[in-house]
Amino acid sequence: MKLLIKGGRIVNPAKNMDEMGDILIEDGVIVAMGEVETTECLVLDAAGLVVAPGLIDMHVHLRDPGLEAKEDVASGTRAGAAGGFTSIACMPNTKPVIDNSILVEGLKQRAQSEGVINLKVIGAVSKGQEGKELAEIGDMAAAGAVAFSDDGRYVHSAGLLRTALEYTNMFDKVIISHAEDESLAGEGFMHEGTVSAMLGLKGRPAVAEDISTARDILLAEYTGAAVHIAHVSSKGAVELIRQAKQRGVKVTAEVTPHHLTLTDEAVRTFDTATKVNPPLRSEDHRQALIAGLQDGTLDAIVTDHAPHAFEEKDVEFRYAPSGFAGLETSLGVVLTELYHTGQISMTGIITAMAVRPANILRLDAGVLAVGKTADITLIDPEQLWTVDSSNFYTKGKHTPFEGRQLRGKAVAVLVGGTIIMRNGEVLA
């Protein structure tokens, strides 16, 4: 079967391409690009739309296995499709923790039968994510794990992390670090600063992130291995990463839409959707994150999609777990707050949400080219819509963007040339 994406603005940063054109797909593969003339094919009118390589979210909590009341493969991948993603990578902090090849293979098999988009699996660095003993990194890499992380927990043992970096380097994989020293962050509920003092809430100081980021960069530099700093939120961490890149350290980093667009002022409402880890920080930190994204210090935009059951978040702020459902609002928030304000170009957004995540995870994705699998996202940058969590595909219904009118939305997703999502409706 042939499918022609007709007359869209093709934004393809990996090929330095931003131009009007068509894309012809046959049997799930791109067979022609440019001005394409053909007959007897399904035509997808892309007039007024951005045609981009499929978006990739390299930081998602699917909660599967063991925590399916929060999310599972079926609901999470559908939420991803609704948000414009063709691939997502899931973190291993499940029950049981994904720390061996059997669990990696099992999740991959379940994704084939229950998922609707590509699901990549991230394995744990340590057994049980306890930070004491190295997990089965070689076996998990052989089973298809794309990266390794103890996300949700900081690997406190420098010795263990050094050994893990040496192992992952052998398999050309990256360690994704949750860089926040718990001995400093402690039991804090929000960013430590003026707002936390006014609200009477114990804070998590930015220096906890800075110190951890510095250590992980030094270990990556010493071992020659690759490290990726997850959900960067502090201006100190941004500067440390910037300097390390200038020295040639194999360090990459990511940032979330909520850290780019919200500050600790949002916590004044005591809305538990604003409780995240690392916390929403002050405006000076937010501005540093935007600058880091603009100059390439921060490579990727990720959701850190972390859904919880409604009753878990519907409690007093200090008792609520951190995180919220982000897959279905991510692109809209970035377009509204960064693209339409002139702070990030469309090319910059596609680079951060498709090209660099593919490069970091060593995926054959993030580019539109003849012969490549047709994983494609179509975006209407002007579509106005209002966030309504009751319509989410994810099981998580908490979002700090509830009721917000956004400008820009993914309107179609193709995975392997098949239309998976159209106009907000997941078809699979």
Contacts of 323 (CB under 8 A, 6+ apart): 61, 275, 276, 277, 304, 306, 307, 308
CA pair distance 194, 384, nearest whole angstrom: 35
pLDDT > 70 in the chain, percent: 100
Confidence of residue 309 (pLDDT cuts 50, 70, 90): very high
Q: CB neighbours (10 Å) of residue 228? A: 23
What's at 4, amino acid-wise?
L
CA distances from residue 219 to 174, 180, 226, 250, 338 in whole angstroms, order as listed: 13, 15, 10, 10, 33
Task: Report whether pLDDT(40) > 90.
Answer: no
In tens, the pLDDT along 220-253 reads 999 999 999 999 999 999 999 999 999 999 999 9
**Lookup result for tokens 């990556």:** 220
- Report pLDDT for 299: 98
- Report pLDDT for 212: 98
Task: Answer yes or no: are the C-beta atoms of 209 and 234 closer than 8 Å.
Answer: yes
Q: Nearest to residue 90, comparing CAs of 115, 63, 112, 61? A: 61
Contacts of 111 (CB under 8 A, 6+ apart): 73, 77, 119
Provide mean pLDDT across the span 369-383: 98
- Report pLDDT for 360: 98
- Report pLDDT for 187: 86
Q: Which residues are catalytic?
A: 304
Give one DSSP letter per residue of 27-96, joined into a string: TTEEEEEES---SSSEEEE-TT-EEEEPEEEEEE---TTT-TTT--HHHHHHHHHHTTEEEEEE-S-SSS
Confidence of residue 1 (pLDDT cuts 50, 70, 90): confident
CA pair distance 285, 206, nearest whole angstrom: 9
- Report pLDDT for 38: 82
Provide mean pLDDT across the span 8-32: 97
CA pair distance 88, 108, nearest whole angstrom: 12
Provide mean pLDDT across the span 142-162: 97
Task: Report whether pLDDT(186) > 90.
Answer: no
SS3 212: helix
